[in-house]
Amino acid sequence: MDASGAGLDTDRHLDDPRWRVAERVSDAALRRFPADVLAVAVHGPLAHGDDDGGGNGEVGLLVVTYRPGGGPSPATRRVDGVLVDLTVAGADDYLRQATAITALWPLTADRYVTTRALHDPTGWLRTLRDEHLARLARARPAEFTDAARQAWYRGSAAHARALRLAEWYETDQALLMLGEARLAAATVQGLLSRTYFRDPGDAVRRTGLAGADMTEVGTVLARQAEELTARGRPVDGTVDDLLGG
């Protein structure tokens, strides 16, 4: 199957324990909730088919239900040594999520575009992809700029916090906040260029921020602030701006 999620994958590696666990979960969900489950699919590295996960990597599993609250509950468990992150969502709710341009779009879009079906008799996963891509085609530049500005605020706050913690010799906490600042700056870059990433690690690697130090992240954030201003959405404003005046 291609990345659209239109049908079952005939080239699946049957010796991969992740696929075996994913199929077991899918079969169990269909047996227990036959009237609730519309589609079941994997996303993330397993859906891309180019990461063997060392045989025991994480499985991102999506169960789509006809209505909110149906089917199993979202959960994360390790099953036979394989970590399974189970997302459960009503079909209409998930389609709405797929058509929202938010500050986290660069980190969420991949799961709407790249899926592999375990159960999808109606072709709903193709609808999911098509709705998301159609929304991107209709999106105005200002929507991505507004979302990028929100991501920038998060990155700026994390960077400022990291600087203060470093001054207080709280090294471990400073490094954690620096990691948040790197990821936020990566999402800003993704939004400004309409680029989505497979996961947070992919985001910081592809934007060159994976090894960026405090000064380098600050420089990137300053450059992004200038670009946001040039696009008509400055990061600074007045009290009236803040209050919607």
Grade residue 130 by pLDDT with cuts at 50, 70 and 90: very high
Query: Which of 5-9, 34-38, 193-197, 211-215 is predicted least confidently?
Result: 5-9
Q: Above pLDDT 70, what percent of the chain?
A: 91
245 or 75, which is more confident?
75
For the segment 62-74, the average pLDDT, to the nearest whole number, is 97
Say whether pLDDT at 109 is over 50: yes
Residues sharing a CB contact under 8 Å with residue 87, sequence separation 6 or more, in sequence order: 60, 61, 62, 63, 74
How far is it, in rounded angstroms, from Cα 211 to Cα 156?
A: 18
In the DSSP assignment, the letter for residue 110 is: H
For the segment 119-130, the average pLDDT, to the nearest whole number, is 98
The domain spans of the chain are 17-138, 141-232
Q: What local confidence, expressed as pLDDT, does residue 56 receive?
A: 57
Greatest pairwise CA separation for the chain in angstroms? 61
Grade residue 14 by pLDDT with cuts at 50, 70 and 90: low
The amino acid that residue 149 corresponds to is R
Q: What local confidence, expressed as pLDDT, does residue 66 receive?
A: 98
Q: Above pLDDT 90, what percent of the chain?
A: 86
Grade residue 244 by pLDDT with cuts at 50, 70 and 90: confident
Q: What pLDDT digit, counting tens, does each position of 162-186 carry?
A: 999 999 999 999 999 999 999 999 9
Say whether pLDDT at 241 is over 90: no
Q: What local confidence, expressed as pLDDT, does residue 115 receive?
A: 96
Helix axes 214-230, 171-193, angle to 10 degrees: 30
Count of residues for the chain?
245
Q: How many CB atoms lie within 10 A of CB 121?
A: 9
Q: What pLDDT digit, counting tens, does each position of 205-236 carry?
A: 999 999 999 999 999 999 999 999 999 989 99
For the segment 141-158, the average pLDDT, to the nearest whole number, is 97
Task: Give the mean pLDDT of the chain.
Answer: 92
For the segment 186-200, the average pLDDT, to the nearest whole number, is 97
Pick the CATH number of 17-138 from 3.10.129.10, 3.40.50.2300, 3.30.460.10, 3.40.920.10: 3.30.460.10
108 to 137, 191, 217, 226: CA distances (angstroms): 17, 12, 23, 26
